[in-house]
Amino acid sequence: MAAISSSHDQVEDEEEYVLLDLDGVSGQVHIPPNAPYVLYGLDTLNPILVIDNKVKLIGEYEETIGTCFVFTEGECPVVHEETGPSEANLFSGKFIIDPKQPLAKEVKPVARLHKYDCSPTVTINTKAVLTLNSFEKGGDGGGPSECDSKYHSDTKPIVALSTGWYHKGSRCLKKITISGNGRKVNATVVDECDSTIGCDAEHDYQPPCPNNIVDGSKAVWEALGVRRDDWGELDITWTDA
């Protein structure tokens, strides 16, 4: 991130990195080494790459699956090791701050997000973690439910499933049986707990969901008889009803 300062305000330009995968066309199109290129339309679904004013490639985005690391960039003083006596340091082998050098850029990892498009195989006793979600407008579920583009009352036993279990909507508006805390409850699947995308307004700026989550309304927790003080996470099993 580069900062541009003035006496009145400060403007920050964000840098984004894009990986271009050309393996699919490298055997069909000759791309000269060090050829000039222009890449535009990055804010569209189909960015365009023009190479050497001769080759035009129209691409598409693919969501990254795996572990994504988030870094922050800051400034730090330049530090070097003294190799001999000096006015600043009379002992060799010591590390000192060089006041004559401008501040250097420093990148530190601040978080990592696990992203999945699969979940454990569903059995008659599928192990999962029950979490608490609000499906009402303004709740922590973010936007409307994926299955029907509607908000739902938290007084109804409804759930969102991790991406693999949601399975492109194949369980939408169907019931599952949840077992936990010595009780059982049938709940309707209305949403996806997205394991591939997060940290945006649609997902209430929450990180991507783990791949073993059943995200339940308060009615689910009440039906399982869990004390309100213990609401949050609960080891459960579930199966299709």
Residue 218: its H or E element = helix 218-223
pLDDT for the residue 125: 94
Q: Which residues contact 210 (CB under 8 A, 6 or more apart)?
A: 114, 116, 129, 162, 195
Q: In angstroms, how far is CA 30 from the centroid of its own chain?
A: 36
Mean pLDDT calculated for residue range 97-104: 64
* Beta-ladder partners of 106: 74
Under 8 Å between Cβ of 151 and 143: no
Mean pLDDT calculated for residue range 110-135: 79
pLDDT for the residue 178: 98
pLDDT at 51 over 80: yes
Query: What is the rounded CA–CA span in Å between residue 220 and residue 30?
Result: 59
pLDDT at 146 over 50: yes
pLDDT, tens digit, for every residue of 54-64? Answer: 888 887 766 55
Mean pLDDT calculated for residue range 111-125: 71
Over the chain, what is the mean pLDDT?
A: 76
**Architecture in CATH for domain 126-240:** Beta Barrel (2.40)
| Proportion of the chain above pLDDT 90, given as a percent | 37
Between these two residues, 51 and 190, which has the higher pLDDT value? 190
pLDDT for the residue 154: 96
Question: Cα dihedral angle (166, 172, 175, 180), rounded to 10 degrees?
Answer: 30
Mean pLDDT calculated for residue range 135-161: 91
Query: What is the rounded CA–CA span in Å between residue 143 and residue 150?
Result: 9
Question: Where do the structural domains in the chain lie, given as residue ranges?
Answer: 2-58, 66-114, 126-240
Q: DSSP labels for 38-68?
A: EEE-TTSSS-EEEETTTEEEE-------EEE
Q: In angstroms, how far is CA 160 from the centroid of its own chain?
A: 17
Query: What is the rounded CA–CA span in Å between residue 132 and residue 229?
Result: 12
pLDDT for the residue 58: 80
User: Which residue's structure tokens are 């055997």?
Assistant: 27
Under 8 Å between Cβ of 140 and 204: yes
Of 84, 83, 85, 80, the closest CA to residue 96 belongs to 80
Residue 5: its H or E element = strand 2-5
| Proportion of the chain above pLDDT 70, given as a percent | 61
Q: Is the pTM of this model over 0.85?
A: no
Residue positions counted in the chain: 241
pLDDT at 197 over 90: no
pLDDT at 48 over 90: no
User: Which residue's structure tokens are 């369980």?
Assistant: 171
pLDDT band at residue 192 using 50, 70 and 90 as cut-offs: very high
Query: What is the rounded CA–CA span in Å between residue 128 and residue 193?
Result: 13
